[in-house]
Amino acid sequence: MFSWRTFSRFIGCPAAGLAWAIDSQTGGGEAGSRQSGEGERRREIALFAGGCFWCMEAPFAKLGGGVLAVESGYGGGNTANPSYENYAAGGHVEVVRVVYDPDLVSYRQLLDTFWRQIDPTDAGGQFVDRGHAYTSAIFYCSEEQRLQAEASKQELAARGVFDKPLVTPILPAPAFYPAEAYHQGFSEKNPLRYMYYRQGSGRDDFLRRTWQEAGTGREHPTASLHRRLTPLQYEVTRNNGTEPPFANAYWDNKQEGIYVDVVSGEPLFSSTDKYDSGTGWPSFTKALVAENIVEKSDWSLLTRRTEVRSKGGDSHLGHLFPDGPDPTGLRYCINSAALRFVPRDQLETEGLGRFSRLFE
């Protein structure tokens, strides 16, 4: 494991202002480009919040040689150089920073490991630890990481592992402040104390129960979706059904906010593009995130129509028609049962804060 005690040279993640130290004896040249004695090594940074950082360090460290270092720390607040005594008061959360070689371990592997350590439906903390300081988050250092994180979140939601919406936000990486030395490698230095704390926190019981029930497959567990969705939601999204016009949740909704897939949670449409088409179904002139919409030919009524489905959840949403108003001339005619509405004032809480600018 790469030693963090003798570092004296600082380099950073440009997109996030992250700073970490590289041992001045490695002779690494450009930031993070070389590890002493091992030739050229690629180094990238990943930053995760999952409640108690003691419990988040060990799972990443066990991934093997592709993980070069794991460090506990604080981030996301409004104070500089926080300590264990004051980080929570400064608005920070406990985080772990993973330095990894993407040639040996992928960011997707890190994401899969992260999801299997937390309860992503809990917005108030993690397990026995409550409060903002222990909330979960994925902090991305690049646009590529953001896209991978969002895709993995959508896929997890679509699998139906959890009965409630995933609220873990995906946010730009903040400045990272290393925690005190006694917190680093805690599970190795204090194995008994760590074991008792982890078992007593309820984390392992929750993870064991959740993932044993979910299994290891990547298909949508039908039984779980039946539990999560109403009969109408299931009929529309899984069986390509159509809800009644004028008798659905959102046809006349005038609140500001965005509409996400009821199965996967991926963002689909915005109230800023919604209009009254007179059809009795929610209608939009364009998609909020075009990459999340899949168009397919539909001949079910013996004439060609364009079906629209969600990419991550593979949910039937509705149909696309070329009779909408300016500026697009399009009408996305969508079933309310395929959507979940997230009001403007809840976007940050649900990790969709990047869309708040639409309503400024």
Of 13, 52, 55, 141, the catalytic one is 52
Of 13, 55, 141, 333, the catalytic one is 333
Q: For the chain, which residues score pLDDT lower than 50? A: 1-38, 216-221
Separation between Cα atoms, residue 95 and residue 64, nearest integer Å:
20
Residue ranges of the domains in the chain?
7-214, 231-359
Check: pTM over 0.85? Answer yes or no.
no
Residues in the chain, overall count: 360
Separation between Cα atoms, residue 236 and residue 296, nearest integer Å:
16
CATH fourth-level superfamily of 7-214: Peptide methionine sulphoxide reductase MsrA (3.30.1060.10)
Q: Is 141 a catalytic residue?
A: no
22 forms bridges with which residues in the sheet? Answer: 9
Q: Is 52 a catalytic residue?
A: yes
What pLDDT is attached to residue 203? 93
What pLDDT is attached to residue 288? 95
Give the CA distances from residue 42 to residues 66, 70, 76, 84, in Å, rounded to whole numbers and listed in that order.
10, 16, 26, 32
Separation between Cα atoms, residue 164 and residue 161, nearest integer Å:
9
Residue 181: DSSP 8-state: G
Quick: pLDDT tens for 315-349: 999 999 999 999 999 999 999 999 999 999 988 87
- H-type alpha helices, the chain: 53-61, 107-115, 143-159, 186-189, 191-201, 203-214, 222-228, 231-239
Separation between Cα atoms, residue 171 and residue 149, nearest integer Å:
10
CATH of 231-359, one of 1.10.510.10, 3.40.50.620, 2.102.10.10, 2.170.150.20: 2.170.150.20
What pLDDT is attached to residue 215? 55
What pLDDT is attached to residue 149? 93
Which one, of 112, 102, 33, lies nearest residue 65 by Cα?
Answer: 102
What pLDDT is attached to residue 97? 97
CA dihedral over 248, 251, 253, 256, signed as positive or negative: positive
Separation between Cα atoms, residue 304 and residue 74, nearest integer Å:
55
What pLDDT is attached to residue 336? 97
